[in-house]
Amino acid sequence: MIVSPSLLAADFGNLEREIGMINRSHADWLHLDVMDGVFVPNISFGFPVLEAVARLCQKPLDVHLMIERPEKFVNEVAKLGAMMMNVHYEACVHLNRTIHVIHDAGMKAGVTLNPSTPVCLLEDVIRDVDMVLLMTVNPGFGGQKFIEHSLDKVRQLRQMIERTGSKALIEVDGGVNAKTAPQLAEAGVDVLVAGSYVFGAEQPEQVIDQLRAL
Ligand code: DX5
Ligand code: ZN
């Protein structure tokens, strides 16, 4: 399992220490949640903070933009040296174009679905994306309860990927913990995002190892 701890649950008063823990850990990626207060009812951090994080972090950056018009920020995300740029299906009118612009900027492209957006809408884009990020809570806040129906969506998406020959990874985000992570692995997930479960743990590096072993 690929593990992408979400910095949203870190202690922002000690970002250098928290990123040091991530660097020492076996975490595969670092998940960065950008919010604009419009697409989601919260604001997290913006590019000045992300630049500092990118300087400190030695792991590939998995950037999750919970913002309207994410295509406006492709160059800024690329300048961070991000590995993956995830945009929401619901925020992109011209998703096909946005995916190509992300690829042209040298990044992998991920498309993200809110819990109420059906997997079948990905039919015409699944072969073009490197990853699908399924939200397993409503985006905007850490520490929320996992939405059970997400397991069915993972299975549907796994079927679509196999049927179409797509190379897309399946990532899930929200409510990942000791109970839900094995269920998600069983349903066919490739990448687990975990915020409060990792950063709220007494031994975060051990939690990361446990998730990776799934
Ligand atoms: C929520 C963010 C998540 C968040 C997950 O909108 O996209 O990445 O950090 O938090 P947990 O793992 O605590 O549910
Ligand atoms: Zn996220």
pLDDT tens column, 80-118: 999 999 999 999 999 999 999 999 999 999 999 999 999
* Residue 192 contacts residue 176 (beta carbons within 8 Å): yes
User: Which ligand 1 atom is at minimum distance from the Cα of 143?
Assistant: 13
What pLDDT score does 126 carry? 98
**Residue 86 forms beta bridges with which residues?**
64, 110
Model-wide pTM > 0.95:
yes
In the reported structure, the alpha carbon of residue 6 is separated from the centroid of ligand 2 by a whole-number distance in angstroms of 7
In the reported structure, the alpha carbon of residue 74 is separated from the centroid of ligand 1 by a whole-number distance in angstroms of 22
* Residue 86 contacts residue 112 (beta carbons within 8 Å): yes
Confidence band (pLDDT; 50, 70, 90) for 9? very high
